[in-house]
Amino acid sequence: MTSSSWLCLLRHGQSQWNLENRFTGWVDVALTDTGREEARQAAERLKRRGLSFDVAYTSVLSRAIETLDIALDVLGQENLPVHQDKALNERMYGDLQGLNKAETAAKFGDDQVHIWRRSYDVPPPNGESLKDTQKRAVPYFRTKIEPELCAGKNVLVVAHGNSLRAIVMELEKLTSAQILEVEIPTGVPWLYRLTPDLTVEEKLTLD
């Protein structure tokens, strides 16, 4: 019988626009030095637990790719098979991309910006809601990542706050109201030990 597997969800380290409090979305923004250190520290925590991985998945955005590269270097797994796909990209923030969050609140009002940021199904102008992000991230998770986990493989997914929240919603069977309370920090590994039928046996947050 196939043994349980580990799934690690890791949000990329701090990016330049995280630092500047800007809506980033699909804009390809680099990590800061702090973000690179967050990636190293995340991998060190995984290493101390003796975890290694069989395959990794990431988005096509450089802040996630670099975080994964740093982590694999620390883990000594530079040759791990890696799959990149835009299905794991951050939520697209549309007209808000590049805008400072405080300035946006001053322009549109705190309540409206809060709805755009934290609601489940209300997108910003020309952007995606969490529900929209879920519609691409979850099918990718089901078709590409779940079969690896069902086969007993340990999987590392390095992506973004909202694409990872979409996966967490699926894994933990959360409602659209419950997921609004979930925040995934940069550079903190979330570990799930899963049975072959993908029931969560254990969840660990390595902060």
What CATH homologous superfamily does 5-205 map to? Phosphoglycerate mutase-like (3.40.50.1240)
- Each residue of 106-146: pLDDT tens digit? 989 999 999 998 899 999 999 999 999 999 999 999 999 99
Is 44 a catalytic site residue?
no
SS3 116: helix
Is 114 a catalytic site residue?
no
- Each residue of 60-76: pLDDT tens digit? 999 999 999 999 999 99
Rg (CA), the chain: 17
How many Å separate Cα 35 from the centre of its chain? 14
Tokens of 96: 């808000």
Is 0.85 surpassed by the pTM of this model? yes
Annotated catalytic residue within 12, 66, 148, 160: 12
Annotated catalytic residue within 38, 66, 90, 128: 90
